[in-house]
Amino acid sequence: MFKNLLKRILPPPQGALAPGAEGAPPSAPTPEQLVRSDALLAQGDAREEAGDLARAVVHYRAAIAAAPRHARAHLYLGVALAAQGDEEGAIAAYEQVLAIDARHPFGNYNHARLMVQRGDLERAGALVAEALRAMPDFAQALELSHRILRDQGFAQEALAAASRVVERDPANWLHRSFELLMLNFVDDIAADDVHRRHLEFGAALEQAVPVRFERHRDRCDPRRRLRVGYASGDFHVHPVTFFLAPVFELHDRSQVEVFCYSLSARRDAMTDRIRAASDHWRDASAMTDDEVADAIHADGIDVLVDLMGHTSMPRPGVFCQRPAPVQVAWLGYLNTTGLSRMDFRITDARSDPPAISQRVHTERLVHLPTSQWCYPGATEHEIAPMAPFERHGHVTFGSFNASLKLTPAACRRWAQVMLKVPGSRLLIGDVNSAGRRAAILGDFASLGVAEDRVGFVPRVAASEYMGLHNEVDITFDTFPYGGGTTTFDSLWMGVPVVTTTGATPVSRSAASILLALGLDDWVAPSVDRFVEVAIARATDLQALRELRRGLRARLQASPLTDLPRYTRDLEVAYRSMWLEKTN
Protein backbone atom coordinates (compact mmCIF):
# COMPACT_ATOMS: atom_id res chain seq x y z
CA MET A 1 0.00 0.00 0.00
CA PHE A 2 1.06 3.64 -0.35
CA LYS A 3 1.58 3.91 3.41
CA ASN A 4 4.28 1.25 3.22
CA LEU A 5 6.03 3.45 0.68
CA LEU A 6 5.90 6.24 3.26
CA LYS A 7 7.70 4.04 5.75
CA ARG A 8 10.52 3.45 3.29
CA ILE A 9 10.85 7.14 2.44
CA LEU A 10 10.20 8.96 5.69
CA PRO A 11 12.79 8.71 8.49
CA PRO A 12 11.65 6.99 11.68
CA PRO A 13 10.19 9.30 14.32
CA GLN A 14 12.92 11.15 16.18
CA GLY A 15 10.67 12.87 18.66
CA ALA A 16 9.51 16.46 18.52
CA LEU A 17 10.84 19.50 20.22
CA ALA A 18 9.12 20.10 23.53
CA PRO A 19 6.62 22.98 23.70
CA GLY A 20 8.45 26.22 24.18
CA ALA A 21 11.73 24.89 22.82
CA GLU A 22 13.46 27.02 20.21
CA GLY A 23 11.89 26.57 16.75
CA ALA A 24 8.96 24.44 17.98
CA PRO A 25 5.37 25.45 17.30
CA PRO A 26 3.47 26.10 20.52
CA SER A 27 1.21 23.07 20.04
CA ALA A 28 3.85 20.58 18.88
CA PRO A 29 3.41 17.16 20.49
CA THR A 30 5.62 16.30 23.44
CA PRO A 31 7.97 13.32 23.21
CA GLU A 32 5.63 11.37 25.49
CA GLN A 33 2.64 12.12 23.26
CA LEU A 34 4.62 11.01 20.20
CA VAL A 35 5.60 7.72 21.81
CA ARG A 36 1.98 6.94 22.67
CA SER A 37 0.71 8.08 19.27
CA ASP A 38 3.33 6.10 17.34
CA ALA A 39 2.49 2.94 19.30
CA LEU A 40 -1.16 3.32 18.29
CA LEU A 41 -0.11 3.97 14.67
CA ALA A 42 1.85 0.73 14.70
CA GLN A 43 -1.20 -1.16 15.98
CA GLY A 44 -3.37 0.42 13.31
CA ASP A 45 -0.82 -0.40 10.65
CA ALA A 46 -0.83 -4.04 11.72
CA ARG A 47 -4.63 -4.16 11.50
CA GLU A 48 -4.53 -2.53 8.06
CA GLU A 49 -1.96 -5.05 6.82
CA ALA A 50 -4.29 -7.80 8.03
CA GLY A 51 -7.10 -6.30 5.94
CA ASP A 52 -9.09 -4.88 8.85
CA LEU A 53 -9.42 -1.28 7.74
CA ALA A 54 -12.23 -0.47 10.15
CA ARG A 55 -10.14 -1.44 13.18
CA ALA A 56 -7.12 0.35 11.73
CA VAL A 57 -9.14 3.57 11.54
CA VAL A 58 -10.04 3.22 15.23
CA HIS A 59 -6.34 3.00 16.13
CA TYR A 60 -5.44 5.93 13.90
CA ARG A 61 -8.10 8.09 15.50
CA ALA A 62 -6.77 7.10 18.90
CA ALA A 63 -3.26 8.07 17.76
CA ILE A 64 -4.61 11.51 16.80
CA ALA A 65 -6.32 11.85 20.17
CA ALA A 66 -3.00 11.06 21.84
CA ALA A 67 -1.15 13.70 19.79
CA PRO A 68 -3.55 16.01 17.89
CA ARG A 69 -0.70 17.82 16.10
CA HIS A 70 1.00 14.62 14.89
CA ALA A 71 0.93 14.98 11.08
CA ARG A 72 1.78 11.34 10.46
CA ALA A 73 -1.28 10.19 12.40
CA HIS A 74 -3.60 12.34 10.30
CA LEU A 75 -1.85 11.11 7.16
CA TYR A 76 -2.32 7.44 8.06
CA LEU A 77 -5.98 8.10 8.83
CA GLY A 78 -6.44 9.77 5.45
CA VAL A 79 -4.86 6.85 3.58
CA ALA A 80 -7.10 4.35 5.41
CA LEU A 81 -10.27 6.38 4.88
CA ALA A 82 -9.47 6.76 1.19
CA ALA A 83 -9.04 2.98 0.96
CA GLN A 84 -12.49 2.61 2.54
CA GLY A 85 -13.98 4.95 -0.05
CA ASP A 86 -14.59 7.76 2.46
CA GLU A 87 -13.40 10.57 0.22
CA GLU A 88 -14.72 13.37 2.41
CA GLY A 89 -13.09 11.95 5.52
CA ALA A 90 -9.79 11.42 3.72
CA ILE A 91 -9.77 15.00 2.43
CA ALA A 92 -10.46 16.31 5.93
CA ALA A 93 -7.55 14.23 7.26
CA TYR A 94 -5.15 15.53 4.62
CA GLU A 95 -6.25 19.08 5.31
CA GLN A 96 -5.31 18.49 8.94
CA VAL A 97 -1.87 17.30 7.82
CA LEU A 98 -1.39 20.51 5.83
CA ALA A 99 -2.70 22.66 8.69
CA ILE A 100 0.16 21.24 10.77
CA ASP A 101 2.75 21.34 7.96
CA ALA A 102 1.71 23.14 4.79
CA ARG A 103 4.74 21.75 2.90
CA HIS A 104 4.22 18.10 3.93
CA PRO A 105 5.01 16.23 0.66
CA PHE A 106 2.81 13.23 1.32
CA GLY A 107 -0.09 15.25 2.66
CA ASN A 108 -0.02 17.40 -0.46
CA TYR A 109 0.41 14.42 -2.77
CA ASN A 110 -2.46 12.39 -1.29
CA HIS A 111 -4.72 15.40 -1.22
CA ALA A 112 -3.87 16.06 -4.89
CA ARG A 113 -4.82 12.50 -5.86
CA LEU A 114 -8.29 12.97 -4.43
CA MET A 115 -8.67 16.32 -6.15
CA VAL A 116 -7.86 14.60 -9.46
CA GLN A 117 -10.61 12.07 -8.75
CA ARG A 118 -12.99 14.97 -8.18
CA GLY A 119 -11.92 16.65 -11.41
CA ASP A 120 -10.48 19.71 -9.63
CA LEU A 121 -7.28 19.87 -11.64
CA GLU A 122 -6.45 23.42 -10.57
CA ARG A 123 -6.36 22.50 -6.89
CA ALA A 124 -4.63 19.19 -7.63
CA GLY A 125 -1.93 20.96 -9.61
CA ALA A 126 -1.23 23.43 -6.82
CA LEU A 127 -1.01 20.63 -4.23
CA VAL A 128 1.33 18.42 -6.22
CA ALA A 129 3.52 21.42 -7.05
CA GLU A 130 3.87 22.05 -3.30
CA ALA A 131 4.78 18.40 -2.76
CA LEU A 132 7.53 18.68 -5.37
CA ARG A 133 8.85 21.91 -3.87
CA ALA A 134 9.33 20.03 -0.61
CA MET A 135 10.70 16.87 -2.25
CA PRO A 136 11.85 17.50 -5.86
CA ASP A 137 12.65 13.82 -6.54
CA PHE A 138 9.32 12.48 -5.25
CA ALA A 139 8.68 10.01 -8.09
CA GLN A 140 4.96 9.47 -7.48
CA ALA A 141 4.38 13.22 -7.30
CA LEU A 142 6.28 13.72 -10.56
CA GLU A 143 4.09 11.11 -12.21
CA LEU A 144 0.92 12.72 -10.87
CA SER A 145 2.15 16.14 -11.99
CA HIS A 146 2.58 14.80 -15.50
CA ARG A 147 -0.94 13.39 -15.50
CA ILE A 148 -2.46 16.64 -14.23
CA LEU A 149 -0.59 18.81 -16.71
CA ARG A 150 -1.52 16.46 -19.55
CA ASP A 151 -5.20 16.48 -18.58
CA GLN A 152 -5.15 20.28 -18.32
CA GLY A 153 -3.66 20.52 -21.80
CA PHE A 154 -0.20 21.87 -20.97
CA ALA A 155 1.84 19.80 -23.43
CA GLN A 156 5.24 21.43 -22.92
CA GLU A 157 4.98 21.24 -19.14
CA ALA A 158 3.63 17.65 -19.24
CA LEU A 159 6.59 16.66 -21.40
CA ALA A 160 8.99 18.24 -18.89
CA ALA A 161 7.35 16.34 -16.00
CA ALA A 162 7.50 13.03 -17.88
CA SER A 163 11.15 13.68 -18.76
CA ARG A 164 11.97 14.24 -15.08
CA VAL A 165 10.43 10.87 -14.21
CA VAL A 166 12.39 9.19 -17.00
CA GLU A 167 15.63 10.90 -15.99
CA ARG A 168 15.18 9.63 -12.45
CA ASP A 169 14.12 6.14 -13.54
CA PRO A 170 15.11 5.26 -17.13
CA ALA A 171 13.47 1.84 -16.83
CA ASN A 172 10.05 3.39 -16.17
CA TRP A 173 8.73 2.23 -19.54
CA LEU A 174 5.26 3.63 -18.96
CA HIS A 175 6.55 7.15 -18.54
CA ARG A 176 9.02 6.73 -21.33
CA SER A 177 5.99 5.97 -23.50
CA PHE A 178 4.21 9.04 -22.15
CA GLU A 179 7.29 11.11 -22.92
CA LEU A 180 7.26 9.88 -26.52
CA LEU A 181 3.56 10.69 -26.83
CA MET A 182 4.11 14.24 -25.57
CA LEU A 183 6.85 14.83 -28.14
CA ASN A 184 4.14 14.75 -30.83
CA PHE A 185 2.26 17.68 -29.28
CA VAL A 186 5.02 20.20 -28.61
CA ASP A 187 6.02 23.01 -30.95
CA ASP A 188 9.46 23.16 -32.54
CA ILE A 189 10.64 19.58 -32.02
CA ALA A 190 12.20 18.32 -35.25
CA ALA A 191 10.78 15.17 -36.83
CA ASP A 192 14.23 13.57 -36.78
CA ASP A 193 14.48 14.19 -33.04
CA VAL A 194 11.07 12.61 -32.47
CA HIS A 195 12.20 9.60 -34.52
CA ARG A 196 15.52 9.33 -32.70
CA ARG A 197 13.81 9.30 -29.30
CA HIS A 198 11.48 6.52 -30.45
CA LEU A 199 14.47 4.51 -31.69
CA GLU A 200 16.26 4.96 -28.37
CA PHE A 201 13.19 3.78 -26.51
CA GLY A 202 12.76 0.72 -28.72
CA ALA A 203 16.41 -0.28 -28.48
CA ALA A 204 16.45 0.06 -24.68
CA LEU A 205 13.21 -1.87 -24.18
CA GLU A 206 14.21 -4.66 -26.56
CA GLN A 207 17.49 -5.02 -24.71
CA ALA A 208 15.59 -5.33 -21.42
CA VAL A 209 12.82 -7.64 -22.71
CA PRO A 210 14.00 -10.68 -24.69
CA VAL A 211 12.02 -12.51 -27.35
CA ARG A 212 10.31 -15.41 -25.57
CA PHE A 213 8.50 -17.04 -28.46
CA GLU A 214 10.51 -18.29 -31.41
CA ARG A 215 8.00 -20.86 -32.69
CA HIS A 216 4.47 -20.05 -33.75
CA ARG A 217 1.51 -21.84 -35.24
CA ASP A 218 2.37 -23.46 -38.59
CA ARG A 219 1.21 -21.60 -41.66
CA CYS A 220 -0.26 -24.65 -43.42
CA ASP A 221 -3.01 -23.59 -45.85
CA PRO A 222 -2.31 -20.00 -47.00
CA ARG A 223 -6.06 -19.48 -47.47
CA ARG A 224 -7.09 -20.60 -44.00
CA ARG A 225 -8.98 -18.43 -41.56
CA LEU A 226 -6.64 -16.06 -39.76
CA ARG A 227 -6.64 -15.58 -36.04
CA VAL A 228 -6.38 -11.83 -35.53
CA GLY A 229 -5.76 -10.51 -32.02
CA TYR A 230 -6.52 -6.93 -31.04
CA ALA A 231 -4.79 -5.58 -27.92
CA SER A 232 -6.04 -2.35 -26.34
CA GLY A 233 -6.72 -0.55 -23.11
CA ASP A 234 -9.43 1.45 -24.88
CA PHE A 235 -12.27 -1.02 -25.40
CA HIS A 236 -14.74 1.53 -24.08
CA VAL A 237 -16.14 4.84 -25.37
CA HIS A 238 -13.08 6.23 -27.11
CA PRO A 239 -12.16 7.52 -30.59
CA VAL A 240 -10.40 4.23 -31.37
CA THR A 241 -13.48 2.11 -30.71
CA PHE A 242 -15.66 4.53 -32.67
CA PHE A 243 -13.73 3.45 -35.77
CA LEU A 244 -13.06 -0.10 -34.61
CA ALA A 245 -16.52 -1.37 -33.66
CA PRO A 246 -17.97 -1.32 -37.21
CA VAL A 247 -14.92 -3.19 -38.50
CA PHE A 248 -15.46 -5.92 -35.91
CA GLU A 249 -19.10 -6.19 -36.91
CA LEU A 250 -18.25 -6.37 -40.62
CA HIS A 251 -15.30 -8.75 -40.45
CA ASP A 252 -15.74 -11.72 -42.79
CA ARG A 253 -15.81 -14.58 -40.32
CA SER A 254 -14.77 -17.02 -43.02
CA GLN A 255 -11.52 -15.05 -43.28
CA VAL A 256 -10.93 -13.68 -39.77
CA GLU A 257 -11.44 -15.00 -36.25
CA VAL A 258 -11.37 -12.04 -33.84
CA PHE A 259 -9.66 -12.19 -30.44
CA CYS A 260 -9.75 -9.20 -28.06
CA TYR A 261 -7.22 -8.66 -25.27
CA SER A 262 -8.71 -6.00 -23.01
CA LEU A 263 -5.97 -4.31 -20.99
CA SER A 264 -8.25 -2.03 -18.94
CA ALA A 265 -10.87 -2.78 -16.32
CA ARG A 266 -13.03 0.10 -17.54
CA ARG A 267 -16.39 -1.04 -18.92
CA ASP A 268 -19.31 0.72 -20.60
CA ALA A 269 -21.83 0.19 -23.41
CA MET A 270 -19.10 0.33 -26.05
CA THR A 271 -17.26 -2.45 -24.22
CA ASP A 272 -20.38 -4.59 -24.54
CA ARG A 273 -20.61 -3.79 -28.25
CA ILE A 274 -16.98 -4.67 -28.89
CA ARG A 275 -17.24 -7.87 -26.87
CA ALA A 276 -20.40 -8.95 -28.69
CA ALA A 277 -18.68 -8.38 -32.04
CA SER A 278 -15.59 -10.41 -31.15
CA ASP A 279 -15.26 -14.19 -31.29
CA HIS A 280 -13.10 -14.42 -28.18
CA TRP A 281 -12.77 -11.95 -25.31
CA ARG A 282 -9.82 -12.04 -22.93
CA ASP A 283 -9.90 -9.83 -19.85
CA ALA A 284 -6.19 -9.06 -19.48
CA SER A 285 -6.56 -5.99 -17.28
CA ALA A 286 -4.89 -7.61 -14.27
CA MET A 287 -2.27 -9.55 -16.24
CA THR A 288 1.43 -8.80 -16.37
CA ASP A 289 3.13 -8.36 -19.74
CA ASP A 290 4.38 -11.96 -19.55
CA GLU A 291 0.89 -13.28 -18.80
CA VAL A 292 -0.65 -11.31 -21.67
CA ALA A 293 2.03 -12.59 -24.05
CA ASP A 294 1.46 -16.15 -22.82
CA ALA A 295 -2.28 -15.85 -23.47
CA ILE A 296 -1.75 -14.49 -26.98
CA HIS A 297 0.71 -17.23 -27.85
CA ALA A 298 -1.55 -19.93 -26.37
CA ASP A 299 -4.39 -18.69 -28.59
CA GLY A 300 -2.22 -19.22 -31.67
CA ILE A 301 -2.69 -15.65 -32.92
CA ASP A 302 -1.51 -15.14 -36.50
CA VAL A 303 -1.72 -11.34 -36.65
CA LEU A 304 -1.47 -9.30 -33.44
CA VAL A 305 -2.70 -5.70 -33.72
CA ASP A 306 -1.53 -3.00 -31.31
CA LEU A 307 -4.26 -0.37 -31.04
CA MET A 308 -2.39 1.78 -28.49
CA GLY A 309 1.21 2.46 -29.44
CA HIS A 310 2.34 5.02 -26.85
CA THR A 311 -1.15 6.28 -25.95
CA SER A 312 -3.56 5.46 -23.16
CA MET A 313 -2.25 2.30 -21.43
CA PRO A 314 0.78 1.33 -23.54
CA ARG A 315 2.08 -2.23 -23.21
CA PRO A 316 5.08 -2.39 -25.58
CA GLY A 317 6.63 -5.03 -23.34
CA VAL A 318 4.04 -7.51 -24.62
CA PHE A 319 5.04 -6.99 -28.23
CA CYS A 320 8.76 -7.15 -27.42
CA GLN A 321 8.26 -10.81 -26.49
CA ARG A 322 6.89 -11.51 -30.00
CA PRO A 323 3.92 -13.69 -29.01
CA ALA A 324 2.62 -13.69 -32.62
CA PRO A 325 4.44 -14.13 -35.94
CA VAL A 326 3.00 -10.90 -37.36
CA GLN A 327 2.76 -7.76 -35.21
CA VAL A 328 1.00 -4.66 -36.52
CA ALA A 329 0.44 -1.13 -35.23
CA TRP A 330 -2.83 0.48 -36.28
CA LEU A 331 -5.25 3.25 -35.44
CA GLY A 332 -4.31 4.36 -31.92
CA TYR A 333 -0.90 5.96 -32.43
CA LEU A 334 -0.06 7.85 -35.59
CA ASN A 335 3.70 7.40 -35.41
CA THR A 336 6.30 4.69 -35.12
CA THR A 337 6.42 2.60 -31.95
CA GLY A 338 10.21 2.52 -32.20
CA LEU A 339 10.19 -1.28 -31.85
CA SER A 340 12.08 -3.35 -34.40
CA ARG A 341 9.84 -6.26 -33.38
CA MET A 342 6.73 -4.43 -34.56
CA ASP A 343 6.61 -5.58 -38.18
CA PHE A 344 4.13 -3.24 -39.84
CA ARG A 345 2.14 -0.07 -39.34
CA ILE A 346 -1.16 0.39 -41.22
CA THR A 347 -1.67 3.88 -42.64
CA ASP A 348 -2.32 5.56 -46.00
CA ALA A 349 -0.13 7.27 -48.56
CA ARG A 350 -1.49 10.75 -47.83
CA SER A 351 -0.81 10.53 -44.10
CA ASP A 352 2.52 8.80 -44.61
CA PRO A 353 4.02 9.41 -48.07
CA PRO A 354 6.59 6.60 -48.48
CA ALA A 355 9.44 8.89 -49.49
CA ILE A 356 8.98 11.00 -46.36
CA SER A 357 7.61 8.70 -43.71
CA GLN A 358 9.17 5.27 -44.17
CA ARG A 359 12.60 6.43 -43.04
CA VAL A 360 11.22 7.54 -39.66
CA HIS A 361 9.54 4.21 -38.92
CA THR A 362 10.93 0.97 -37.54
CA GLU A 363 7.83 -0.73 -38.97
CA ARG A 364 7.24 -1.22 -42.67
CA LEU A 365 4.36 0.99 -43.71
CA VAL A 366 1.34 -0.72 -45.23
CA HIS A 367 -0.88 1.73 -47.10
CA LEU A 368 -4.61 1.08 -47.29
CA PRO A 369 -6.07 2.15 -50.66
CA THR A 370 -8.03 5.17 -49.41
CA SER A 371 -7.41 6.07 -45.79
CA GLN A 372 -6.19 4.67 -42.50
CA TRP A 373 -9.68 5.44 -41.15
CA CYS A 374 -13.25 4.87 -42.25
CA TYR A 375 -15.90 7.08 -40.67
CA PRO A 376 -19.13 5.45 -39.47
CA GLY A 377 -21.12 8.69 -39.43
CA ALA A 378 -23.83 9.78 -37.03
CA THR A 379 -27.10 10.17 -38.91
CA GLU A 380 -29.12 11.36 -35.90
CA HIS A 381 -27.34 14.73 -35.89
CA GLU A 382 -28.90 17.31 -38.23
CA ILE A 383 -27.16 20.23 -39.89
CA ALA A 384 -28.72 23.64 -39.19
CA PRO A 385 -30.29 25.05 -42.38
CA MET A 386 -28.55 28.42 -42.03
CA ALA A 387 -24.83 28.88 -41.52
CA PRO A 388 -23.78 30.81 -38.41
CA PHE A 389 -22.40 33.69 -40.50
CA GLU A 390 -25.86 34.07 -42.09
CA ARG A 391 -27.52 34.14 -38.68
CA HIS A 392 -25.03 36.31 -36.81
CA GLY A 393 -23.45 38.48 -39.47
CA HIS A 394 -19.91 37.37 -38.78
CA VAL A 395 -17.78 34.26 -39.33
CA THR A 396 -17.35 31.95 -36.36
CA PHE A 397 -14.32 29.71 -36.25
CA GLY A 398 -14.20 26.63 -34.04
CA SER A 399 -11.79 24.17 -32.49
CA PHE A 400 -12.96 20.96 -30.84
CA ASN A 401 -9.65 19.16 -30.68
CA ALA A 402 -8.13 18.01 -27.39
CA SER A 403 -6.66 20.93 -25.48
CA LEU A 404 -3.20 19.33 -25.62
CA LYS A 405 -3.21 20.07 -29.35
CA LEU A 406 -3.83 23.81 -28.89
CA THR A 407 -0.19 24.85 -28.92
CA PRO A 408 0.94 28.47 -28.63
CA ALA A 409 2.07 28.39 -32.27
CA ALA A 410 -1.36 27.23 -33.46
CA CYS A 411 -3.15 29.85 -31.34
CA ARG A 412 -0.93 32.62 -32.68
CA ARG A 413 -1.76 31.73 -36.26
CA TRP A 414 -5.46 31.46 -35.49
CA ALA A 415 -5.23 34.92 -33.95
CA GLN A 416 -3.58 36.26 -37.12
CA VAL A 417 -6.49 34.88 -39.16
CA MET A 418 -9.07 36.49 -36.87
CA LEU A 419 -7.36 39.87 -37.13
CA LYS A 420 -7.81 39.73 -40.91
CA VAL A 421 -11.43 38.51 -40.78
CA PRO A 422 -13.35 41.47 -39.28
CA GLY A 423 -15.78 40.67 -36.49
CA SER A 424 -14.91 36.96 -36.48
CA ARG A 425 -15.28 34.89 -33.33
CA LEU A 426 -13.69 31.64 -32.12
CA LEU A 427 -15.44 28.89 -30.15
CA ILE A 428 -13.11 26.43 -28.39
CA GLY A 429 -14.36 23.20 -26.87
CA ASP A 430 -12.94 20.72 -24.36
CA VAL A 431 -10.73 23.10 -22.38
CA ASN A 432 -11.83 22.43 -18.82
CA SER A 433 -8.90 23.95 -16.94
CA ALA A 434 -9.19 27.60 -15.89
CA GLY A 435 -5.42 27.91 -16.05
CA ARG A 436 -5.32 26.53 -19.56
CA ARG A 437 -8.11 28.87 -20.71
CA ALA A 438 -6.18 31.81 -19.30
CA ALA A 439 -3.03 30.73 -21.13
CA ILE A 440 -4.91 30.42 -24.43
CA LEU A 441 -6.51 33.84 -23.99
CA GLY A 442 -3.05 35.21 -23.27
CA ASP A 443 -1.77 33.82 -26.59
CA PHE A 444 -4.59 35.61 -28.44
CA ALA A 445 -4.30 38.83 -26.45
CA SER A 446 -0.58 39.02 -27.21
CA LEU A 447 -1.51 39.53 -30.87
CA GLY A 448 -4.37 41.94 -30.23
CA VAL A 449 -7.43 39.65 -30.26
CA ALA A 450 -9.79 40.78 -27.51
CA GLU A 451 -10.94 38.22 -24.96
CA ASP A 452 -14.60 38.71 -25.85
CA ARG A 453 -13.94 37.29 -29.33
CA VAL A 454 -12.89 33.91 -27.89
CA GLY A 455 -15.41 31.66 -26.14
CA PHE A 456 -15.01 28.33 -24.38
CA VAL A 457 -17.35 25.36 -24.07
CA PRO A 458 -16.59 22.67 -21.48
CA ARG A 459 -16.56 18.96 -22.28
CA VAL A 460 -20.12 17.93 -23.11
CA ALA A 461 -21.95 14.74 -24.07
CA ALA A 462 -21.41 13.39 -27.59
CA SER A 463 -24.80 14.56 -28.83
CA GLU A 464 -24.22 18.12 -27.57
CA TYR A 465 -20.71 18.11 -28.99
CA MET A 466 -21.96 17.31 -32.48
CA GLY A 467 -24.58 20.05 -32.15
CA LEU A 468 -21.89 22.62 -31.38
CA HIS A 469 -20.82 22.41 -35.03
CA ASN A 470 -24.02 24.23 -35.94
CA GLU A 471 -22.52 27.27 -34.18
CA VAL A 472 -19.34 27.45 -36.27
CA ASP A 473 -18.62 28.11 -39.94
CA ILE A 474 -15.05 26.79 -40.18
CA THR A 475 -12.97 24.69 -37.82
CA PHE A 476 -9.29 25.33 -37.33
CA ASP A 477 -7.07 22.28 -37.35
CA THR A 478 -4.24 22.04 -34.83
CA PHE A 479 -0.52 21.55 -35.34
CA PRO A 480 1.92 19.93 -34.91
CA TYR A 481 -0.68 17.27 -33.92
CA GLY A 482 -3.60 17.40 -36.34
CA GLY A 483 -7.13 16.15 -35.93
CA GLY A 484 -8.56 12.77 -36.85
CA THR A 485 -11.98 12.01 -35.37
CA THR A 486 -12.73 15.72 -34.90
CA THR A 487 -11.94 16.37 -38.56
CA PHE A 488 -14.46 13.77 -39.69
CA ASP A 489 -17.04 15.05 -37.19
CA SER A 490 -16.69 18.59 -38.49
CA LEU A 491 -17.05 17.55 -42.14
CA TRP A 492 -20.04 15.38 -41.28
CA MET A 493 -21.75 18.40 -39.75
CA GLY A 494 -21.14 20.47 -42.86
CA VAL A 495 -18.26 22.48 -41.40
CA PRO A 496 -15.08 22.56 -43.50
CA VAL A 497 -11.69 22.33 -41.83
CA VAL A 498 -8.66 24.45 -42.67
CA THR A 499 -5.41 22.58 -42.07
CA THR A 500 -1.81 22.24 -43.11
CA THR A 501 0.83 19.54 -43.43
CA GLY A 502 4.02 19.07 -41.47
CA ALA A 503 7.04 16.83 -41.11
CA THR A 504 5.60 14.24 -38.71
CA PRO A 505 2.87 11.66 -39.37
CA VAL A 506 0.56 13.24 -36.78
CA SER A 507 0.81 16.59 -38.58
CA ARG A 508 -0.75 15.18 -41.77
CA SER A 509 -3.80 13.39 -40.37
CA ALA A 510 -6.45 16.04 -41.13
CA ALA A 511 -4.82 16.90 -44.46
CA SER A 512 -5.03 13.27 -45.56
CA ILE A 513 -8.81 13.29 -44.98
CA LEU A 514 -9.39 16.57 -46.81
CA LEU A 515 -7.21 15.55 -49.76
CA ALA A 516 -9.11 12.26 -50.05
CA LEU A 517 -12.29 14.34 -50.40
CA GLY A 518 -10.79 16.61 -53.02
CA LEU A 519 -10.73 19.61 -50.67
CA ASP A 520 -7.18 20.51 -51.64
CA ASP A 521 -7.78 24.26 -51.37
CA TRP A 522 -8.44 23.84 -47.63
CA VAL A 523 -4.95 22.39 -47.06
CA ALA A 524 -2.11 24.89 -46.66
CA PRO A 525 1.10 23.53 -48.17
CA SER A 526 3.03 24.60 -45.06
CA VAL A 527 2.39 26.05 -41.62
CA ASP A 528 3.65 29.42 -42.88
CA ARG A 529 0.84 29.45 -45.47
CA PHE A 530 -1.91 28.49 -43.00
CA VAL A 531 -2.97 32.08 -42.31
CA GLU A 532 -3.39 33.12 -45.94
CA VAL A 533 -5.30 29.95 -46.85
CA ALA A 534 -7.62 30.33 -43.84
CA ILE A 535 -8.31 33.98 -44.68
CA ALA A 536 -9.08 33.13 -48.31
CA ARG A 537 -11.54 30.42 -47.34
CA ALA A 538 -13.22 32.51 -44.62
CA THR A 539 -13.80 35.52 -46.85
CA ASP A 540 -15.37 33.59 -49.75
CA LEU A 541 -18.80 33.38 -48.15
CA GLN A 542 -20.67 32.15 -51.22
CA ALA A 543 -18.32 29.18 -51.61
CA LEU A 544 -18.57 28.53 -47.87
CA ARG A 545 -22.37 28.52 -48.05
CA GLU A 546 -22.42 26.06 -50.96
CA LEU A 547 -19.85 23.77 -49.42
CA ARG A 548 -21.78 23.56 -46.16
CA ARG A 549 -24.90 22.42 -47.99
CA GLY A 550 -23.20 19.51 -49.75
CA LEU A 551 -20.35 18.48 -47.46
CA ARG A 552 -22.06 15.59 -45.68
CA ALA A 553 -23.32 14.12 -48.95
CA ARG A 554 -19.83 14.45 -50.37
CA LEU A 555 -18.40 12.53 -47.43
CA GLN A 556 -21.12 9.88 -47.63
CA ALA A 557 -20.43 9.31 -51.33
CA SER A 558 -16.70 8.88 -50.77
CA PRO A 559 -14.69 5.77 -49.86
CA LEU A 560 -14.06 7.42 -46.48
CA THR A 561 -17.43 6.09 -45.27
CA ASP A 562 -17.54 2.81 -47.23
CA LEU A 563 -17.14 0.49 -44.25
CA PRO A 564 -17.62 -2.87 -46.07
CA ARG A 565 -14.95 -1.96 -48.62
CA TYR A 566 -12.63 -0.66 -45.94
CA THR A 567 -12.98 -3.84 -43.87
CA ARG A 568 -12.19 -6.01 -46.91
CA ASP A 569 -9.11 -3.86 -47.62
CA LEU A 570 -7.98 -4.36 -44.04
CA GLU A 571 -8.45 -8.12 -44.25
CA VAL A 572 -6.47 -8.25 -47.49
CA ALA A 573 -3.69 -6.32 -45.77
CA TYR A 574 -3.66 -8.75 -42.82
CA ARG A 575 -3.36 -11.76 -45.12
CA SER A 576 -0.64 -10.16 -47.24
CA MET A 577 1.41 -9.33 -44.15
CA TRP A 578 0.93 -12.82 -42.76
CA LEU A 579 1.94 -14.51 -46.01
CA GLU A 580 5.01 -12.30 -46.26
CA LYS A 581 6.20 -13.04 -42.72
CA THR A 582 5.42 -16.78 -42.69
CA ASN A 583 6.83 -17.74 -46.10
**Residue 240 resides in a domain:** yes
**Residue 283 resides in a domain:** yes
**Residue 291 resides in a domain:** yes
CA distance 162 to 180: 9
Domain count, the chain: 3
CB burial of residue 219 (10 Å; 0-12, 13-18, 19+): middle
Name the stretches of the chain with pLDDT < 70: 1-27, 219
pLDDT confidence of residue 219: 66
Q: Which one of 171, 205, 239 terminates a domain? A: 205
Residues 33, 131, single domain; the answer is yes
State the angle between helix axes of 269-277 and 239-250 in degrees (0 to 180), rounded to the nearest 10. 30
**Residue 380 resides in a domain:** no
Cβ atoms of residues 428 and 406 within 8 Å: yes
CA distance 526 to 480: 11
pLDDT confidence of residue 18: 27
Distance of CA 463 to the CA centre of its chain: 22
**Residue 371 resides in a domain:** no
Residues 314, 453, single domain; the answer is no
Residues 486, 575, single domain; the answer is no
CA distance 447 to 529: 18
**Residue 211 resides in a domain:** no
pLDDT confidence of residue 26: 45
Residues 267, 293, single domain; the answer is yes
CATH number of the domain that residue 237 is part of: 3.40.50.11380
393-423 pLDDT, tens digit each? 999 999 999 999 999 999 999 999 999 999 9
CA distance 444 to 448: 7
**Residue 217 resides in a domain:** no
Residues 148, 233, single domain; the answer is no
**Residue 366 resides in a domain:** no
Nearest to 129 by CA among 148, 152, 114: 148
Residues 45, 140, single domain; the answer is yes
**480 upstream amide cis, omega within 30 of 0:** yes
Beta strands in 195-249 (DSSP E): 226-232
pLDDT confidence of residue 313: 86
Cβ atoms of residues 199 and 361 within 8 Å: no
Q: Which residues touch 468 (CB under 8 Å, ≥6 apart)?
A: 398, 400, 427, 429, 457, 460
Residues 192, 162, single domain; the answer is yes
CATH number of the domain that residue 91 is part of: 1.25.40.10
Please report, as a single letter, which amino acid is at residue 505: P
CA distance 161 to 177: 13
Residues 470, 515, single domain; the answer is yes
299: DSSP letter: T
Residues 310, 418, single domain; the answer is no
Residues 324, 462, single domain; the answer is no
pLDDT confidence of residue 27: 66
Distance of CA 318 to the CA centre of its chain: 20
pLDDT confidence of residue 273: 97
φ/ψ of 427, rounded to 5, equals: -110, 120
Does this model's pTM top 0.75?
yes
Sheet-wide strand order for 425-429: 454-457, 425-429, 396-399, 474-476, 497-500, 523-524
Domain interval for residue 305: 229-342+569-582
Residues 454, 483, single domain; the answer is yes
